[in-house]
Amino acid sequence: MNSIELRHLEYFLMVSKELHFTKAAEKLGISQPTLSHQIKMLEQEIGYPLFNRVGKKIELTQVGEIVQQEALNIQGSIQSMSSQIAAFTKLEIGELKIAVLPGEITDLVSTLCIQFNHLYPNIKVFIQTTDQVEKAVLENRADFGIGFHLNQYDLLQMTKLYDEEFYLISNQSNVEQRVSFSSVLDSPLILFPSMHQCRKILDKTSYEVGKPLEPIVETSSIESILNLVRSGVGRSVVSRTLYEFYDTEDIFFQLIEKPSLNGEVYLIMKKNCFINYAARKYIKLLVREIEKLHFQTNKGSITSLRSSTL
C-alpha cells in the first residue's frame, strides 16, 4: 500500500458516512462514476472490498470498518496539525529562542520580554546567554542572536543594529563631559566580572594602553553597581543601554575618550531561512526600542531589517 492518497481516504469517508454513492458524489462535487472509480482504486490498493453492495444499498465490510476508523484518525491528525500551524503563525502558541552575549544586551533583551509577554502571553521565550551566539543560531538552538564581536560565517546574515557607547558613571556632577581612559583607570572602580562583555572591552583596552585594571569590587548585578556608585564607594563603567534602562537620575556620566569605548551590536540570523512570526514581532519591538533610545544606527540596515520582518 504505497500509493494511497489523502483524497482517496476523503472520498471513502464521505461514502462511508452517506452509504450512498450518488449523495456522496454530490457533496464532494464530483461525478458518481468518478467517485466509484476512486473507491475501486482504493480497494485495489488495499486488496479487499470496502463495501458490500446489496441492491441499491451499500454497507461497510469488516475491512471497510477498519479503514474507516484509521482514516478518521488520519483526518483528525491532519486537522490538528493544521490548527496548530494556524495558531503558530498567528502567534497564539509557540516558542521564541534568543541567543545573547552575557552583559548589557541580555538586559535589553530581557526587558523587552516584558512587553512581548504582555502582547503575546502564550509564547514561551527562552533567552540563552552564551559566548557562542553564532553557533547557537547555526545549530538551530536559537531563532536569532544578538551580540557584539562576531566571527564571519557564510551561512549567517549579520545586520548591524546600533553602536553601543560606554560611560564612566559616578555620584558627582562633573564639569567635563569627557574623560580619558587613562583617568578612568586611576579611580576606584566597581565593575562587572570578566565574563561580561563590557568588562571584556575594558580588559582589552587597558591591556592595549599598558595600564592594569584593578577593580575594588566585582559584581554581576547592575543594581548593586548603581547602589555602590550612589554611596560613593567608587565609579563604574557601564553601557549606555544599561544607563538608559535603569533609574539613574541621581547618577552622572562622562563619555570616555583616548581611546573611546564602544561596540557594534549585530542581529544574527541564518541566511535564506524562514523567520517565524514570533521572531518577526520581537525584532520589530527591538527596532522600535532602539529608535526610541536614539541609539546611533545604520538607517540602511534598519530599513532592510524592517523589510525582512514584515
Query: What would the pLDDT profile of 80-102 be if each residue is shown by its tens digit?
Result: 777 667 666 666 677 899 999 87
Question: What's the Rg (C-alpha) of the chain?
Answer: 31
Backbone angles phi, psi at 269, to 5 degrees: -140, 165
Amino acid identity, residue 202?
A: L
For the residues 106-117, what does the mean pLDDT come to? 87
The crossing angle, in degrees rounded to 10, of helices 277-292 and 104-119 is 120
**Cell numbers that stand for 262 in this block:** 564602544
Residues 6+ apart with CB under 8 A from 287: 161, 302, 305, 306
Q: What are the beta bridge partners of residue 239? A: 166
For the residues 245-273, what does the mean pLDDT come to? 87
Q: Name the strand (E) or helix (H) holding 145.
A: strand 144-147
**Predicted local distance difference test score (pLDDT) of residue 65:** 93
Alpha carbons within 13 A on the beta-carbon side of 233: 16
Alpha carbons within 13 A on the beta-carbon side of 166: 27
**Cell numbers that stand for 17 in this block:** 458516512
For the residues 121-147, what does the mean pLDDT come to? 89
Residues 6+ apart with CB under 8 A from 134: 145, 147, 150, 151, 153, 156, 268
pLDDT at 261 exceeding the cut of 80? yes
Residues 6+ apart with CB under 8 A from 224: none
- The residue assigned the cell 452509504 is 19
pLDDT at 271 exceeding the cut of 60? yes
Of 295 and 129, the structure prediction assigns the larger pLDDT to 129
Confidence of residue 135 (pLDDT cuts 50, 70, 90): confident
Q: For 172-217, how does the pLDDT look when each residue is reduced to its tens digit (9 = 90+)?
A: 887 688 999 999 999 899 999 988 888 888 999 999 999 989 999 9
For the chain, give the mean pLDDT: 86
Percent of the chain scoring above 70 in pLDDT: 91
Confidence of residue 246 (pLDDT cuts 50, 70, 90): confident
Q: How far is CA 164 from CA 71, 88, 112, 267, 274, in A?
A: 58, 34, 17, 13, 28
CA nearest 70: which of 7, 11, 121, 13? 13
Residues 6+ apart with CB under 8 A from 159: 266, 267, 268, 269, 301, 304, 305
CA nearest 98: which of 108, 84, 86, 83? 108
For the residues 283-299, what does the mean pLDDT come to? 80
**Predicted local distance difference test score (pLDDT) of residue 298:** 65
